[in-house]
Chains A and B, each alone.
Chain A
Amino acid sequence: MWFPNAEVTVNPALLVLLGIIVGTLGGFFGVGGGFLITGGLLVFGVPPLFAVGTGLTLVMGTSLINTVKHRSLGNVDFKLGIMMAVGSVPALYGAQQVNQLLDEAGVAGPVIRILYVCFLAALGSFILYDHWRVGRRGAASADEVSTAGLAQKILGLKIGPRSIWLPGFGTVATVTSLPISGVERISFFVPVLLGAVVGFFAGILGAGGAFILTPMLIYLLGIPTVVAIGTGLFQVILTGSVGTFLYAFSDNVDPLMAVLMLSAAALGAQLGTSATRIVRPARIRFLYGVIVLAGGLAVALEEVSQATEVDILSTLASVVLLGVGGVMCLGIGVMMLRAKRESRELAPADD
């Protein structure tokens, strides 16, 4: 199939497959899946700038679909998402400036990739370590994490003034509650700071930011896993929209390709989101750790490929990423089928 804007011919079946994988993993883990899409499109022969631009467009679309679905399940804390956006949007702009400085110095590519590898390796290892530690101790609840004490301390932080004056609103208290997230008291400045950190890293790494935000919400604020997933996706709509606009403005998006993949991603999203209702949060976190580590390995292979100019390593990186993503989608499908069969077997027995 010919895509006029990217000026490239790609097999539509491959794009549909990639769309299903991205939609399923996005709904299940609460990530936009930018690192997966861009890698996949590059393997399919799409020019690099179009791969990034079209990838970001798909990230925005799938996040919108997944947020709508998670909202219907009561998993999205819009109040928390908007508070974090206050910090993340200016931080994205700051990160863009830093990226430009790195680009002018000619070190943007390697710095970003090395930062990516370190970040993904540290995050994936920590999630797996937490899973092992909580599992060994015997968790009292499915949402228990090893950093529960730290989360309590962060929620209790008193940052900035207790009230501020806003034009049109008068004096507004800065301490609020987040009923959907199960937080009784939190300073407004905590999510703003968290949003700024996430926005800065997302901007530097050129990603939607949910892969950083979701674990931060779980481990630093103690938010239930499914609510962190839904709220992370909502945040990606905001950052993804800005990225889509900027790339489309510089004519680096192929909307035909994006909409084709989005159609497949919509089906995958239904599967991934529904699976969060039946799979234990601890298992979601474990699988998330695995995919993050696979992402880190893929970026490391890409960096070695760039440094040594061995192209096969770059292809291997995308194969690793898509392979792990595909296997995980199959796993999610199997878990869904098994849960369905178990509930069908239990239903007549209950009667």
Chain B
Amino acid sequence: MNEFLTNLSADNPLLWALFVLGLVAASALVLSIVTGMLLRLGTALAAIFGRRKTVDGDDVVP
């Protein structure tokens, strides 16, 4: 992979610039979706465990 990155950047600057732009934009969009899903999963898990604790009677506020 190192060879590909160094060769492309040296041989074809225009293609390289478009590749960098596309790679970063695509990574940003994918990461945005993945982290958003992780956050929702975390919130859902926290809600499930929080409810279980309340049912057990540990965290109930009078």
Contacts and interface: CB of A to CB of B under 8 A. Distances in A.
A69 interface: yes
A5 B5 contact: yes
A255 B28 contact: no
Contact of A69 (B9, B36, B54): B36
B54 A348 contact: yes
Contact of B20 (A64, A248, A274): A248
Contacts of B27: 61, 259, 262-263
Interface of A: 2, 4-5, 57-58, 60-62, 64-65, 68-69, 72, 241, 244-246, 248-251, 253, 255-256, 258-259, 262-263, 266-267, 269-270, 274, 344-345, 348-349
B60 to A, nearest CB: 6
B16 A251 contact: yes
Contacts of B45: none
B23 A255 contact: yes
B61 A68 contact: no
A249 B20 CA distance: 9
Contacts of B29: 64, 68
A250 B27 CA distance: 22
Interface of A is mostly: helix
Contacts of B44: none
A57 B19 CA distance: 12
B16 A258 contact: no
A57 B20 contact: yes
A256 B9 CA distance: 13
Contact of B5 (A60, A69, A256): A256
Contacts of A72: 36
B10 A251 contact: yes
A5 B21 contact: no
A248 B17 CA distance: 5
Contacts of B28: 60-62, 64-65, 262, 266
B9 A251 contact: yes
Contacts of A344: 50
Nearest to A53: B20
B10 to A, nearest CB: 7
Contacts of A68: 29, 32
A255 B9 CA distance: 11
Contacts of A349: 61
Given A4-B2, A65-B28, A349-B61, A255 B35 contact: no
Nearest to A72: B36
Interface string B41-57: 00000000010001000
Contacts of A274: 39
B39 A64 contact: no
A68 to B, nearest CB: 5
A349 B27 CA distance: 43
Contacts of B39: 270, 274
Given A60-B24, A62-B28, A270-B36, A5 B14 contact: no
17 contacts: A5-B9, A60-B24, A60-B28, A64-B32, A244-B21, A245-B17, A249-B14, A255-B23, A258-B24, A259-B23, A259-B24, A262-B28, A263-B27, A263-B31, A266-B28, A266-B35, A267-B35
Given A251-B16, A262-B31, A5 B25 contact: no
